[in-house]
Amino acid sequence: MKKIIVLLLLPLVLFSQDDEKIKYKEELFSVFYNLENLFDTIDSPNTSDGEFLPTSKKQWGTYKYNHKLSQLTKVFHAIIEVENDNKMPDIIGLCEVENSLVINDLLEDSIFANQDYTIVHQDSPDGRGIDCALLFSNKFQLLEYDFIVISNPFVNRPTRDIVYAKLRFKDRVINVFVNHWPSRWGGQSETNHKRVFVSKVLRDYIDANISEDEYTLIMGDFNDYPSNESLAKVLVKEDLVNLMTTDLVSGQGSYNYRGDWNWLDQIIISDNFRSSDVQLLSVGAFKRDFMMYKNKKGEMFPSRSFGGNTWYGGFSDHLPIYFRLSFFSF
């Protein structure tokens, strides 16, 4: 079985030590990507996936499915070429995947041929059947994993689990969380309580299960901005840093809502990443012209697959986010 995971970044640390004093130096490159409804073409009896079937108004058949996979792999090709010296990500976090089948279909592209990923995924209770997943390379040892269930008694529809994995990388333990929080459908303020609830669940899980000497990486589509209550007041305490609020981040945001760029997709890290043996190299949203669409006003948006039932044949309505860092041992 192949494998999956999600990522986080560190603040910049400059090193004055001589190179010969370093026992090892190894870079890690991570990507998180909301794939915008990566569904297969098969009717699932357990979810409401009728919108993405050959008989639906979207006419979601084999051609469109394969085209979508091809478009997504073009993005991965570009990311590694521009941001990581043509080396594949060590960690990949995904959301809006229907099941493990579509993940494995994505990994069939030749770009993934020489990369052995472990996939951490299970079908979530989301009514439409869209999940999060986490992939990681064989650089890491999987110590444990979990799917954190969000049981909110005040909502009628279940939401996605938070995918969690505890990984060992050399002498370090890294806890990775992949998120896709409830949407803003119906209004940000009207749905705010849903994301605050999820945030409290994650915060409590971290407090109860993560040791201070371990690292924490939290990534995902939070459907909130860094300044919103769920993130700024509930999740991100003194022990965490939202990298999208720092001057290290590159880009205007990962999502364009009616002409306003902002960070729905974010990377949050534990404060102990800001130590003398870690160096952040880059973090931000990956955007290239071929991934974008210009409207009649001249505004640029991520080129998406669908607008309603209209097929645009693009990539995703979100930009992928990435980070690159170096670990040192002296």
pLDDT in the model for residue 76: 98
How many whole angstroms separate alpha carbon 313 and alpha carbon 315? 7
Residue 24 has pLDDT above 80, yes or no: no
pLDDT in the model for residue 22: 61
How many whole angstroms separate alpha carbon 236 and alpha carbon 233? 7
| Domain ranges, ordered by start, for the chain | 25-329
CA angle 166, 144, 244 (to 5 degrees): 25
pLDDT in the model for residue 165: 98
Q: Burial letters for 12-30: b for 16+ Cβ neighbours within 10 Å, e otherwise?
A: bbeeeeeeeeeeeeeebbb
Q: Is 119 strand, coil or helix?
A: strand
Reference 220, options 132, 281, 294; nearest CA is: 132
Query: Taking the alpha carbons of 299, 188, 58, 64 in that order, is the dihedral positive or negative?
Result: positive
25-329: CATH superfamily:
Endonuclease/exonuclease/phosphatase (3.60.10.10)
* Cα distance from N-terminal residue to C-terminal residue, the chain: 35
pLDDT tens, 51-97? 999 999 999 999 999 999 999 999 999 999 999 999 999 999 999 99
Residue 21 has pLDDT above 90, yes or no: no
Two structure tokens written together for 73: 């792999």
Pairing of strands 265-270, 278-285: unpaired
Q: 10 Å Cβ neighbour count for 159?
A: 22
47 confidence band (pLDDT: 50, 70, 90) = very high
- DSSP letters, 32-95, are EEEEEEE--SSPPTTS--GGGSTTSTT---HHHHHHHHHHHHHHHHHHHHHHSTT---SEEEEE
pLDDT tens, 102-150? 999 999 999 998 889 999 999 999 999 999 999 999 999 999 999 999 9
Residue 18 has pLDDT above 70, yes or no: no
Percentages of the chain per state (helix, strand, coil), in multiples of 5: 25, 35, 45
Question: pTM, whole model, 2 decimals?
Answer: 0.93
Residue 2 has pLDDT above 50, yes or no: no
Q: 10 Å Cβ neighbour count for 92?
A: 33
pLDDT in the model for residue 329: 73
